[in-house]
Amino acid sequence: MAESQQLVSAVFRDRVNADAAFDWLRLNGFSDREINVLMSEQTRQTYYSGAREGKIETGNMAAQGMAVGGATGTALGATAATLAALAAVGSTLVIPGINLVLVGPIAAALAGAGAGAVTGGLIGALIGWGIPEDNAKAYHDALVHGGVVLGVRARSDDEANRIQKRFEELQGEDVFTCSC
The angle that helices 157-169 and 15-27 make with each other, rounded to 10 degrees, is: 150
pLDDT of residue 13: 93
| pLDDT > 70 in the chain, percent | 60
Q: Domain residues of the chain, as ranges?
A: 6-43+90-178
Tell me which of 108 and 21 has the higher pLDDT.
21
pLDDT digits (tens, 9 = 90+) for 63-82: 233 233 333 233 333 444 46
pLDDT digits (tens, 9 = 90+) for 81-114: 466 665 655 566 656 566 777 777 776 666 555 5
d(CA 113, CA 104): 15
Is 147 a residue whose pLDDT tops 60?
Answer: yes
Distances (CA, A) of 115 to 84, 106, 141: 26, 14, 22
Average pLDDT over every residue of 34-47: 85
